[in-house]
Amino acid sequence: HADTLGALRAELPDLDWTVEPIHLKRLSRDFHWFSPVLKRELDGKLADAVVCPRSEDELRAIVAGCARAGIPITVRGGGTGNYGQAVPLNGGLVIDMTALTGLVFARDGVARAQAGIKLAALDTLLRPQGWALRCVPSTYRIATLGGLFCGGFGGVGSINYGPLGAPGTILGIKLMTVEAEPRIVELRAPEAMRLAHTYGTNGIVLEIELALAPAQDWDEYLIAFDDERSAFAFAHTLACEPAIAKNEVALFSHEAAAYFSKLTPHRQAHEAIVIAAVARQSGETLAKLVANHGARIAWTQDAETARNSQHTLIEYCWNHTTLHALRGDKTITYLQTAYEYGREREQLDAIASAAGAEVLTHLEFIRDMQGRMTCVGLPLIRYTNDARLTELTRLHRSLGIKVNDPHVFTLEDGKHAGALDPAILDAKREYDPNQLLNPGKIRTVY
């Protein structure tokens, strides 16, 4: 596509284009390298050019040009996705959305912002008005609102509000179609959810309107336990305790926690840990709960210090756990698991006895789509080869543990495993009729 893109660049010379190989390489990547399988499969995939539109009009001119010339488009936010979502499989153009950062409005617990705004930046704008995002990935400093909607799940705050996709958080979106005459379309939820977690395959999201949470200060606690079982009993109780206000509860086995080198001075080698973010007024109750469980608060910092520091306990949680582990041990990878409500303890025991030291516990407590308190996992896996990884996935599934496979890059093999919702494909036909958006990420022939 280099020639057609060259012509488009000549047609639109004032735009912010990038064609230097070193930058093309960086902007064609995300964090798929957490998976040894994706690392191999996506190695060397490269855009022919990257453009960073500074306005909707610039974006419209680019999209129209691509539609006329048949140039594939991969939309990119912060590039922190884990499944190669933002990696262009067939070259073409990467559209970097990170200059589209406007806050359209924020009032009465609702905000609307452009898709390229970073989540931390949006939270900073909302805080003076007393509001905050309901859930953010641990990559909130870099990840964008559009990237979270199109490629993410949820994270910190999901313990209160469930995943981003729980009804009531996303209220509406504005999108641009990929056609010679691009259209602007407004969708309210639930119709808007046809573009959620679809990797930018069925429309370019311009703005997102979402419901907010009241802003609160969350103090951070590192809590140490003699064994993983007591840590689980504590974490489950804390998660289920409605009067203790919290925003995050995560559990790590002592083997997983051993990868958190900066926390080493605070814990003994055999200790499992829980990381919790708890409201100030709940601190005293938390301390008593910790004592009742025979545990100890190993380290704590208040919300303001956490906010202003480059070292927050949140950035050990969610998939930051895998990042820390990979820094110290290149043989580590991970799975994404969901336990059956009410059977979490039993399933954890079953996988521990079936897989042993190959699976290192890392749990995140969240509300499920029915509003019940449960946990999901991002267990660390000691990777040996692809066949064993597949076997471990199968083993989890045979025990009734759901696995969203993070070692695949198509919608049908990942979150949308099984049959892809026809509504997603309808949106694709409507908003990307020439099939130019992120080609290769949908397998289904339609």
d(CA 60, CA 54): 11
Q: How many CB atoms lie within 10 A of CB 326?
A: 18
CB-CB contact of 363 with 250 (8 Å): yes
Residue selected from 28, 35, 101, 138 as contacting ligand FAD according to rule CB under 6 A: 138
Q: In whole angstroms, how close is the CB of 415 to ligand FAD at the nearest point?
A: 10
d(CA 226, CA 140): 32
Q: Which residue, 65 or 289, has its beta carbon nearer to ligand FAD?
A: 65
324 binds ligand FAD (CB under 6 A): no
Residue selected from 28, 35, 74, 169 as contacting ligand FAD according to rule CB under 6 A: 74
Rounded to 10°, the helix 2-11/56-69 angle is 140
Q: Which residue, 98 or 361, has its beta carbon nearer to ligand FAD?
A: 98
Q: How many CB atoms lie within 10 A of CB 307?
A: 15
Residue selected from 199, 225, 234, 259 as contacting ligand FAD according to rule CB under 6 A: 199
d(CA 339, CA 348): 8
31 binds ligand FAD (CB under 6 A): yes
Q: How many CB atoms lie within 10 A of CB 106?
A: 17
Residue selected from 63, 205, 239, 325 as contacting ligand FAD according to rule CB under 6 A: 205
Number of amino acids touching ligand FAD (CB under 6 A): 38
Task: Dihedral sign for Cα 405, 410, 413, 418, please.
Answer: positive
178 binds ligand FAD (CB under 6 A): no
CB-CB contact of 363 with 401 (8 Å): no
- Cα distances (angstroms) measured from residue 338 to each of 130, 343, 369, 376: 33, 11, 12, 4
Point out the residue whose Cβ comes nearest to ligand FAD. 147
Q: Which residue, 92 or 200, has its beta carbon nearer to ligand FAD?
A: 200
Tokens 């995050």 sit at which residue? 248
Where does this chain touch ligand FAD (CB under 6 A) — which range of 149-157, 185-193, 213-221, 223-231? 149-157
User: Half-sphere exposure (CA, 13 Å, Cβ side) for 309?
Assistant: 13
CA neighbor of 51 nearest in space, from 120, 98, 88: 98
115 binds ligand FAD (CB under 6 A): yes
Q: In whole angstroms, how close is the CB of 413 to ligand FAD at the nearest point?
A: 14
Residue selected from 36, 53, 72, 79 as contacting ligand FAD according to rule CB under 6 A: 79
Where does this chain touch ligand FAD (CB under 6 A) — which range of 79-87, 215-223, 237-245, 305-313? 79-87
The SS3 call for residue 69 is helix
Residue selected from 29, 58, 113, 153 as contacting ligand FAD according to rule CB under 6 A: 153
92 binds ligand FAD (CB under 6 A): no
CA neighbor of 209 nearest in space, from 169, 167, 153, 176: 169
Q: How many CB atoms lie within 10 A of CB 390?
A: 13
Bridge-based pairing state of the strands 93-96 and 49-51: parallel
Here the tokens at position 412 are 């049908």
Residue selected from 76, 362, 396, 415 as contacting ligand FAD according to rule CB under 6 A: 76
Q: In whole angstroms, how close is the CB of 10 to ligand FAD at the nearest point?
A: 26
374 binds ligand FAD (CB under 6 A): no
Where does this chain touch ligand FAD (CB under 6 A) — which range of 58-66, 132-140, 246-254, 412-420? 132-140
Residue selected from 194, 320, 407, 428 as contacting ligand FAD according to rule CB under 6 A: 320
Residue selected from 155, 162, 406, 414 as contacting ligand FAD according to rule CB under 6 A: 155
The residues of the shown chain that bind ligand FAD, judged by CB under 6 A, are 30-31, 74-82, 85-86, 97, 115, 137-139, 143-144, 146-148, 150-155, 199-200, 204-205, 318-320, 323, 438
